[in-house]
Amino acid sequence: MHPPAVLPIIAVAGPTASGKSSLGIALALRFDGEIINCDSVQVYQEIQIATAKVPLAERLGVPHHLIDFVSPRQTFTAADWARAAIPKIEEIEQRGRRAFLVGGTGFYLRALRQPFFPSPETDEALRARLTAIRERSGVEHLHRILKRLDPAEAGNLHARDWPRVQRAIEFYLQTGDAISRQRPLRPAAPALAARIRVIALNPPREKLYARINRRTEQHYADGLVDEVRLLLEVGVPANSTALGAHGYRRVVEYLKGERDLESALEQTRLDVRHYAKRQLTWFRREPGVEWVEGFGDDPLVQEKVIAKLEADPKTRL
């Protein structure tokens, strides 16, 4: 038997709506593990309906960490997540249990495996100005701004990846230097990063998109508009990172009178499908990812992944 501290740390990744949470819970139950959330929306408190957070009753007794613990008024970065994840992994392993990283935010995993260089704290006033520019002129305009400031970084980012585009602009305006020139200065990865093994789900594309559409419609039916209205009423900024997430920003636009409800619903469906496509592209570019065909809530897929891990002497307990 291996002590947990020398076993691989399994990350369950893949596109939104692919069943990552279900697979993560199945693996945690089989290998005596606990789950560390690796989803950039599920970290936020108060936003619920469009986050796909697993209800307590459906977690089957598996402890979940780094979920529902950040104020939606706060900007929480990938580097923040990595700093929180490292001691949490160590804490779980010190109890003799396994840590499973579950979620589709590839940038979080990269921050853990390849730590970022030091960067300034978020300038909320600057972020608000850039957000206003993006909302007024579109994500392509932001991308053109980045091309002028940091052509190398702009060449690595798609215009629709506006959070990273905007952050790169913020970095330049706050430091006077290009983020692309700072990357070689990143610190060494933590020792545990070498043990991370990424398993990514790859469900059939048409079935995934159909599931995304149904889930989006259900979010609206479950009261998403009322949830967002209440958050705005209690002071969560409309341009906050939490409400800028896919599934939420079109509702904000609807409540601001910028689009009708049907348009908000249709654009949200499209946003989430595009997000799923970007997630698949991201993980295909990451080194060492092991792909599994199908949905993670399919018992046959769960059995396949469990058998895969049990067959590996480095993974087997």
Highest mean pLDDT among 157-166, 178-187, 224-233: 224-233
Mean pLDDT score, 88-114: 96
Do 145 and 14 belong together in one domain?
no
Do 159 and 306 belong together in one domain?
no
Q: What is the DSSP letter of 70?
A: B
Residue at 315 is within a domain: no
Q: What local confidence, expressed as pLDDT, does residue 316 receive?
A: 57
Do 149 and 161 belong together in one domain?
yes
Q: Which CATH number covers residue 151?
A: 1.10.20.140
Count of domains forming the chain: 2
Domain closes at, from 143, 164, 185: 185
Domain closes at, from 135, 165, 185: 185
253-312 tens-digit pLDDT: 999 999 999 999 999 999 999 999 999 999 999 999 999 999 999 999 999 999 999 998
> Measured between alpha carbons, how far is 186 from 5 in angstroms, rounded to an integer?
25
Instruction: Evaluate if residue 123 carries a pLDDT over 70.
Output: yes
Cβ contacts of residue 35 below 8 Å, gap of 6+? 24, 25, 28, 62, 63, 64, 65, 100, 101, 102
Do 190 and 101 belong together in one domain?
yes
Q: Which CATH number covers residue 107?
A: 3.40.50.300
Domain closes at, from 185, 202, 225: 185
Angle between helices 162-175 and 124-137 (to 10 degrees): 130
70-98 tens-digit pLDDT: 999 998 999 899 999 999 999 999 999 99
Residue at 71 is within a domain: yes
Q: What local confidence, expressed as pLDDT, does residue 3 receive?
A: 53
> Measured between alpha carbons, how far is 240 from 230 in angstroms, rounded to an integer?
14
Mean pLDDT score, 95-108: 96
Full domain range(s) for residue 163: 124-185
Do 60 and 205 belong together in one domain?
yes
Contact 237, 122 (CB under 8 A): no
Percent of the chain with pLDDT over 90: 83
Contact 13, 283 (CB under 8 A): yes
Instruction: Evaluate if residue 1 carries a pLDDT over 50.
Output: no
Q: What local confidence, expressed as pLDDT, does residue 121 receive?
A: 79
Residue at 316 is within a domain: no
Q: What local confidence, expressed as pLDDT, does residue 4 receive?
A: 56
